[in-house]
């Protein structure tokens, strides 16, 4: 809402919301009483102690004392922007979701982030970037909570606290760049070899993007789309930036972090303000929804694997333009709550064990981060669809519900919320096969290959990108204190590519140990290396 109007007496007028808008020609307390002075506390005499009786002093200081909310447990550092998504109509045959219809416009809010740094950390850290999009559709809100890399470190969500504890600053000094923090990260990824694929993306130039505007985005997991006739396909979501994919080199990242730690958020806000609105095309790789959910020997439920675009091209289904900066960082970028549970009719999850765990974690963490269960009422999180839920009360409830208690079936207040008038569509959890054995802690053997796609990625890089990647491993492993961790990681690099292991061992001044396993035999995948690639539509 715009600034409140002000009456001739200086009183802010309009709706209760506008009256709270911190406008008008005089200050008041939070309960609306006019104040004469906010610069001096009430004292017993000019030089005496401050009086507990000073309500305005206590209110002002106490509210300030509680201004901060906990930062996100991961992805704490971020920048957001508003925009619009326009469907091309090309996905209308595979999903009933209305936002994919031709020329349908849907408002969006996007938050880009780093994963490991705290809220005040520098933008150009070597890290994965979050790329989370909230689509405010009129059928409910859909959140596509992705990253700028197409794979993840772990296959099962139960490992998430382990990888994050290993990667975050060490508990004693809380210094991210302390030797001990490198030891814990490299200890984890060298022992937990499914992390090798994501890690090589981090060590490549992808780990230090030039700009949020020049990053790809990936939904990573395989999702299920449901068409109007009930037929289903499996898809992987891709965002392709109009400006192509660009990175900085390590020396530029170091210098930039020193000179302008806000480089990425400034770049995004400046570009939008100048009218250079960043754009991405949303595309899908489409797979048949077979019972085994495999494609060309790749388990589609394994989030450490990609499907090369040479095998299954990305089909464009819509375009997103970011065209408006937030007007209040806290109210929008900080209070936004993304959640992979936010699905709409036509889009559903699969059994990917990483995605399944995420369905619990976001909802759970936001109860702490946003102070109770009512964060959907915060302006940035409010659905643009009509809401008629059965939720009541709780911390920070702002709705004033009327009528009888919300329970169903209910013969007292008449309405049946399960009716879907005017052909509107309900969300249906799509029936999917469940394996015969009920209790299993082990993952399927189809999740076992940890190295071949890391090699596929390495071999798709240009010579100079390979050099940067080897230099990044050398720099990072050079910070490790424990020799056996370096050697273990070198054995893993040997299983990815002997030339990579040799280059890093030379950089570290160590001999090359035997590889962890014989390097896989894979064809290079040119489409993986997209640096400088132009937008598919141009």
Residues 279-338 that bind ligand HEM (CB under 6 A): 303, 336-338
- Residue 354 touching ligand HEM (CB under 6 A): yes
- Residue 166 touching ligand HEM (CB under 6 A): no
Residue 62 class from Cβ within 10 Å (0-12 exposed, 13-18 middle, 19+ buried)? Answer: exposed
Any catalytic annotation for residue 221?
A: no
Q: Which is nearer to ligand HEM, 268 or 503 (CB)?
A: 268
Contact of 11 with 27, CB cutoff 8 Å:
no
Distance CA 235, CA 221 (A): 9
Structure tokens at 102: 């031709």
3-class SS at 105?
strand
What phi-psi label fits residue 307: left (phi over 0), alpha (psi between -120 and 50 degrees) or beta?
beta
Write down the least CB distance from residue 195 to ligand HEM, Å.
12
Distance CA 388, CA 33 (A): 36
Q: Which is nearer to ligand HEM, 246 or 369 (CB)?
A: 369
Single out the residue of 132, 200, 226, 501 in contact with ligand HEM (rule: CB under 6 A). 132
Residues 360-419 that bind ligand HEM (CB under 6 A): 361-362, 365-366, 369
Out of 55, 66, 82, 147, pick the active-site residue. Answer: 147
Residue 363 class from Cβ within 10 Å (0-12 exposed, 13-18 middle, 19+ buried)? Answer: middle
Single out the residue of 73, 307, 499, 531 in contact with ligand HEM (rule: CB under 6 A). 73
Write down the least CB distance from residue 521 to ligand HEM, Å.
28
Structure tokens at 431: 């029936």
Sign of CA dihedral 246, 252, 254, 257: negative
Q: Which is nearer to ligand HEM, 108 or 220 (CB)?
A: 220
Write down the least CB distance from residue 164 to ligand HEM, Å.
8
Helix then strand then coil, in percent of the chain rounded to 5, is: 30, 15, 55
Q: Which residue is nearest to ligand HEM (CB)?
A: 130
Structure tokens at 68: 């901060």
Contact of 519 with 496, CB cutoff 8 Å:
yes
Contact of 381 with 336, CB cutoff 8 Å:
yes
- Residue 130 touching ligand HEM (CB under 6 A): yes
Q: Which is nearer to ligand HEM, 163 or 516 (CB)?
A: 163
Contact of 230 with 276, CB cutoff 8 Å:
no
- Residue 145 touching ligand HEM (CB under 6 A): yes
Out of 31, 55, 56, 75, pick the active-site residue. Answer: 75
Q: Please report where in the chains the tokens 């495999």 appear, as a residue.
A: 294
Distance CA 202, CA 217 (A): 14
Structure tokens at 367: 């109860």
Write down the least CB distance from residue 178 to ligand HEM, Å.
24
Single out the residue of 100, 160, 239, 280 in contact with ligand HEM (rule: CB under 6 A). 160
Any catalytic annotation for residue 75?
A: yes
Residues 473-532 that bind ligand HEM (CB under 6 A): none
- Residue 244 touching ligand HEM (CB under 6 A): no
Single out the residue of 72, 77, 240, 242 in contact with ligand HEM (rule: CB under 6 A). 72
- Residues that bind ligand HEM (rule: CB under 6 A) add up to a total of 28
Query: Would you please indicate which residues are annotated as catalytic (active-site) residues?
Result: 75, 147
Catalog residues that contact ligand HEM under the rule CB under 6 A.
72-75, 78, 111, 113, 130, 132, 145-147, 152, 157, 160, 220, 303, 336-338, 354, 357-358, 361-362, 365-366, 369
């Amino acid at each position: 809402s715009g600034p409140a109007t002000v009456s001739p007496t200086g009183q802010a007028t309009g709706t209760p919301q506008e009256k709270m808008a911190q406008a008008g020609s005089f200050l008041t307390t939070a309960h609306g009483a006019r104040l004469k002075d906010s610069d001096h506390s009430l004292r017993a005499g000019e030089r005496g102690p401050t009086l507990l009786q000073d309500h305005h002093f206590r209110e002002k200081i106490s509210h300030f004392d509680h201004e901060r909310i906990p930062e996100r447990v991961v992805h704490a550092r971020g920048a957001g922007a508003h925009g619009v998504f326009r469907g091309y109509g090309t996905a209308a045959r595979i999903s009933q979701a209305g936002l994919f219809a031709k020329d349908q416009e849907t408002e969006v809010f996007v938050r880009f982030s780093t994963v490991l740094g705290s809220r005040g950390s520098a933008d150009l850290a070597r890290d994965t970037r979050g790329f989370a999009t909230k689509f405010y559709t009129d059928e409910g809100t859909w959140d596509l909570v992705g990253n700028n890399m197409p794979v993840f470190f772990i296959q099962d969500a139960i490992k998430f606290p382990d990888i994050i504890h290993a990667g975050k600053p060490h508990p004693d000094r809380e210094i991210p760049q302390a030797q001990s923090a490198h030891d814990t990260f490299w200890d984890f990824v060298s022992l937990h070899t499914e992390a090798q694929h994501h890690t090589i993306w981090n060590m490549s130039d992808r780990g230090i993007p030039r700009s949020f505007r020049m990053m790809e985005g990936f939904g990573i997991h395989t999702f299920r789309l449901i068409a109007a006739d009930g037929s289903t396909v499996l898809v992987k979501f891709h965002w392709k930036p109009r400006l192509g994919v660009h990175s900085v080199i390590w020396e530029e990242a170091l210098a930039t972090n020193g000179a302008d730690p806000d480089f990425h958020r400034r770049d995004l806000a400046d570009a939008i303000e100048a009218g250079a609105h960043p754009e991405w095309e949303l595309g899908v790789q489409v797979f048949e929804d077979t019972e085994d959910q495999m494609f060309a020997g790749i388990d589609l439920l394994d989030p450490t694997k990609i499907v090369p675009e040479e095998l299954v091209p990305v089909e464009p289904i819509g375009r997103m333009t970011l065209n408006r900066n937030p007007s209040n960082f806290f109210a929008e970028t900080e209070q936004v709550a993304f959640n992979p549970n936010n699905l709409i009719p036509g889009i559903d999850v699969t059994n990917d064990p990483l995605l399944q765990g995420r369905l619990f974690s976001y909802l759970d963490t936001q109860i702490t981060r946003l102070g109770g269960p009512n964060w959907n009422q915060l302006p940035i999180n409010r659905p643009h669809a009509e809401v008629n839920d059965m939720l009541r009360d709780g911390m920070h409830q702002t709705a004033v519900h009327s009528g009888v208690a919300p329970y169903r079936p209910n013969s007292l207040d008449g309405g049946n919320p399960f009716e879907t008038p005017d052909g509107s569509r309900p969300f249906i959890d799509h029936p999917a096969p469940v394996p015969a054995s009920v209790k299993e802690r082990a993952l399927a053997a189809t999740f076992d290959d940890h190295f071949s796609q890391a090699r596929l990625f390495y071999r798709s890089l240009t010579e100079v990108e390979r050099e940067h990647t080897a230099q990044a491993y050398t720099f990072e492993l050079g910070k490790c204190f424990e020799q056996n961790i370096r050697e273990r990681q070198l054995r893993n690099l040997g299983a990815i590519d002997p030339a990579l292991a040799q280059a890093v061992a030379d950089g570290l001044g160590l001999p090359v140990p035997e590889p962890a396993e014989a390097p896989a035999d894979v064809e290079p995948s040119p489409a993986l290396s997209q640096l400088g690639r132009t937008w598919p539509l141009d």
